[in-house]
Every structure is written in structure tokens, then in C-alpha cells.
Amino acid sequence: MGPADRLLLRAVGSAGWWTPVLAVVTVTGVAAELALPAALGRAVDAAVGAAPGNSSRQWLVAVVGLIAVVVATGAVRDYGTGTATARSVAALRHTLTRHVFALDPRTAARRPVGDLVGRLAGQVADAGQAAPTVVLAGTVLLPPLGSLVALTLIDPWLGLTFVVGLLLLGVLLRSFVADASAAVAGYQQAQGDLAGRMVETLAGARTIAAAGTADREVERVLAPVAALRAYGARTWTVLAGAATRGAVLNPLLQLAVVAVGGLSLAAGRLTPGELLAALQYAALGAGLGTVVSTLNKAVRVRAGCRRAADVLGEPVRHHGARTLPPGPGELELRGVTVRGDDGQALLDRVDLRLPGGTLLVVVGPSGAGKSLLAAVAGRLRDPDSGQVRLDGVPLPELTAAALHAAVGYGFERPVLVGDTVGEAVGCGADPVPMTTAAAIDDFVDRLPQRYRTPLADVAMSGGERQRLGLARALRADRLLILDDATSSLDTATEYRVTRTLTAPQDRRTRIVVSHRIGMAARADLVAWVHGGRVRAVAPHRVLWDDPAYRAVFRS
């Protein structure tokens, strides 16, 4: 059983008790549909006197009862289908969303955001129809098989005629499933590619407008449309072909049954009621529309499960079960090496030990590995070899809650997440002290509802967004990591923030990636990074004697 099949079973299980309810209701409805022609035929024979001793009123009551069962089971089936689908879709979206956020950021970044959104919104919606589709697929052959048995009992020649039609139907459906599966899978892939390009382009809308490359970007975004159109046309061509062949096969099969039944009636082997029942069984068993519709839905469900399972197959970043012991926030990197996708070492055997409460500024030329060092220090990225310890505990052994409580990150371009400003900054903690320390409290005080203001309603500059992101990072209790997190601030605001970060009463360990000579001068230690290696760790005044170090700031 492959990942897509396991996910399909999981989606069926997510529907809960609605899956067996749908199965029982569907089988009951099919049984009523199969019994209805026989009861109607008996009622006709009783009415015309072809079946002496039978009461037409008795059979009419049976017919009415069977019709009521068909209507009732249809209503329950429709309601149950919607409810089961909604439960499965919600469960799958929850699972996929949690999995995406549990991925290593580097792994998640390999997939375009638009493609992930397409899978989450579109393909999961298809996969969520697994429960009703499995029930339908398991019962879709009951009407033709039941009709075959009924026709054979009425007259073996009718059963033989119907068998020939079912064999032709099987050949038709086999080619339909193969062609439709390939077309649907290709369509979903092209759809995800288009969504991914669109999201990327929207994120860079200002750059595109400034560069005047909108026409070129439109062509790039819409490049998958040709494949989308081709796969879409192929899907409809397959459906149209199946419908056309069915439109020919269905009446031919019914005409064959009429012809054989007419001969049997003339020979006295059938009664008028039995001929009427045979015609209804032929129509019920040869109804290709339901079979094709069910198979088409099954193809889409299977393709949706495959697309979702493709993401769920990515390994997540695991956390341990330990919490941090009491400590000052001592950080130690032992032989840390990080390699790129091409195998090249981006950080090469880095050894670094920071006593608790140290303010370390990381400097170096562009591409030296400063941001990567900051990412490894707080486990935004795991090293390929080596170990990172906080107060003696390897970071992978910490629980997620312990890690996130101990480590805070501030970025150059922070993304604020939450319904309100307070939620985006506090992440469950009191946001007031953090906004004060980040010199953004005056901005929040001017908002209509202050910390309760919906985040979507707040217009802010790049510097204000950066300070809110910085305030969020300040909730950390042991290790604060700032990656160029003050680059958008004006001089006066940056001075206030820097004074907060360098205050002696702040006893957290602080790592600041910066290009500012003033920040380096205020630090306890400076880590000079060059070519993926830590070239030196010392106070700024000591390193300043080296001309190569001074060149870092001139560049």
C-alpha cells in the first residue's frame, strides 16, 4: 500500500461513523431500487389478471413503500455525503497544515507557497471526498449485477443478452480510468505550478513595477496555462468519449432486451408485468452515467490523495522530551558544519562558546554565513554535522515549547502572524513590556483599539513592522537572536533599541547579525565570519587592529 492509499484510508476514517452509515443507506437504497421493478411488474400482472390470486392493492402498497425507501435513503445519503466530506477535508487540512509547519524551513522553502496553497485548498478538497466515493465505488456495480440476476431469473435469454452489454461496459470503463487518471494528475500539477508562480510574483509586485517588467512576468506566470489547457481538454475529451460511447451502448442494450423480451412474451414465457420489469432492469443496469461519474470522482480523489501524500512524505523536524535546567543561557557550537544542496560547505567546522549573558555581534562580508550561523544557533536549521547546546542541552533534545520559550528571533523583514497586534507580538505573553523595549509602544497607543486592533487593519511602514517583529522576539528568556533586525530603523529609534539590547541588566545571551560599527563596538564579543568559518572571536577594539577586519565595515 502506497502513501496515497494510506492517506485515502485515513480520509475515510476521518469521516467517522458517517462512513458505515453511508454504506448501509446506499446498499438499502440500491436494494429498494432493484426490488421496485419486480414489485411494479407484479402489480401490473395482478391488475390485468395475468397473476391470479395476487392482490393489485397489496403490490401497489409495496411499490409506494419501496419508492419511499428510495427517497429517504437518497436524502440521508446526500446529507451524509456532505457531512462526511466536510469532516474529512477539515481533518486532512489540519494534518497537512501541521505537517508543513513542522518541516525544516529549508525543506518547506523548496516548495512554492502557491503550490502548497493549491494542494491545501484544492487537492485536499478532492481527497476529502474519499469516504462517500469509496462507498459509491463499492456499490456502483450492484445495480448492473442485481439487474443481471433479476433478468436471468425472469428469462435466461434476457440475462445472456445483458451479459454481452456488461462486457462492453467493462472494456469502456477500463480505458476511461487509465486515461482520466493521467489527465487529472497532469492538470493538478500544472494548476499547482501556476499558483506557485502567481504567489511569487505578487510578493515581488513592487520590484516588478519599478523594473517595468510586468509584461515579461505575465508571460512567465501564465506559462503553465498551455499545459493546463491541454490536460483540461484531455479530461473533458475522455469524459465526452465515455459519455458518447455510453449514449450509444445504453439504448442498444435496452433495445436488445426489448427485442428478446418481446419474443419471450409472444412465446408465452413472459407476462406483461415481467416484460415491464425487464425493461426497467435493463435501464437500471445499463445506466452508465452513474458509473462514469463515480469513477471520475474516484480518479480525482486518488489524485488529490497523491498530491497531499507527496507533501506528507517529507520528513518533519523532530523535537525531544527535555526541558532546560536552570542556567544563564550559555551557548556552545561544536564542530558545526552545514552544507548546501550541492554538497558545498556553507559553514565549516564552526566552534563557538558564549558564556551566559554575552552580547555577540556577528560581522562579515555578504555571503560569509552570518545569517546561517544565526539560524543554526537557535535551531531554525539543523547542522549536517556537529552539535549546538544551550545550557548543556543539545537543541534537538528540547521540547518544542521549551525551545520556543528560550529562543527568540528578530528578522530584517518579519512576518507578523495573529488576529490582533497583541497576538502577533505577545504570542500568548503580555506584549506591553516587549513593545516598550522595542520602542514601538507609541505606535500601538495610536491604534484605534491599541493591542486589540485587528492586524489586517493596521497600515505600517517597514520600520514599524520591523520593530513589532523585534518586540515579538524579546519574549525569549535565554537566547535572543537578531538577524539585521534594526536595518529599517531611523537613527534615533535605532539608538533607543540598541541601548535596550546592550543594557547591562539584560542578562540574556544575545546574538546580533549587524553591519553597523557602532553595534560591534558596544558588544562584549564580535564573531568575524569569513567564507563559512569563524575567523576570530574577540572584542571589537582588539579586532580593529587588523586591516582586514576594518575592511569589512568599509565594504
Residue type, 422: G
Q: Residue 69: its pLDDT value, please?
A: 93
335 lies in the same domain as 258:
no
283 lies in the same domain as 363:
no
d(CA 388, CA 353): 10
Cα dihedral: 282, 285, 290, 291 (round 10)? -130
> Residue 68 falls within a domain, yes or no?
yes
- The residue range of the domain holding 182 is 3-312
76 lies in the same domain as 220:
yes
Q: Does the pLDDT value for residue 527 go beyond 90?
A: yes
Residue type, 284: L
Q: Does the pLDDT value for residue 55 go beyond 70?
A: no
Angle at 312 between CA 121 and CA 308, to 5 degrees: 35
Mean pLDDT of the chain: 83
Cα dihedral: 536, 537, 540, 546 (round 10)? -20
> Residue 80 falls within a domain, yes or no?
yes
Q: Residue 267: its pLDDT value, please?
A: 75
41 lies in the same domain as 179:
yes
Could you say which of 268, 283, 312 is where a domain stops? 312
Q: Residue 79: its pLDDT value, please?
A: 92
**In total, how many domains does the chain have?**
2
What tens digit of pLDDT does each residue of 352-404 get? 999 998 999 999 888 888 989 999 999 988 898 999 999 999 999 999 889 98
What tens digit of pLDDT does each residue of 60-107 get? 888 889 999 999 999 999 999 999 999 999 999 999 888 888 888 777
> Residue 318 falls within a domain, yes or no?
no
359 near 520, Cβ under 8 Å?
no
Angle at 327 between CA 325 and CA 329, to 5 degrees: 115
Q: Residue 466: its pLDDT value, please?
A: 84
198 lies in the same domain as 347:
no
- Where residue 281 falls among pLDDT bands split at 50, 70, 90? confident
> Residue 522 falls within a domain, yes or no?
yes
- Where residue 53 falls among pLDDT bands split at 50, 70, 90? low
Q: Residue 50: its pLDDT value, please?
A: 55
> Residue 320 falls within a domain, yes or no?
no
395 lies in the same domain as 526:
yes
Q: Does the pLDDT value for residue 295 go beyond 90?
A: no
What tens digit of pLDDT does each residue of 401-455 get? 899 889 988 888 888 888 888 888 887 777 888 888 888 888 888 888 888 888 8
- Where residue 144 falls among pLDDT bands split at 50, 70, 90? confident
- Cell 502557491 locates to 114
Q: In sequence order, what are the beta bridge partners of 483?
A: 411, 513
CATH number of domain containing 360 = 3.40.50.300
What tens digit of pLDDT does each residue of 463-480 get? 888 888 888 888 888 999
CA end-to-end span of the chain: 58
> Residue 548 falls within a domain, yes or no?
yes
480 near 447, Cβ under 8 Å?
no
> Residue 319 falls within a domain, yes or no?
no
Higher pLDDT, 111 or 329: 329
> Residue 349 falls within a domain, yes or no?
yes
Which of 115-119, 255-259, 283-287, 460-464 shows the lowest mean pLDDT across its residues? 283-287
Three cell numbers, residue 526? 564580535
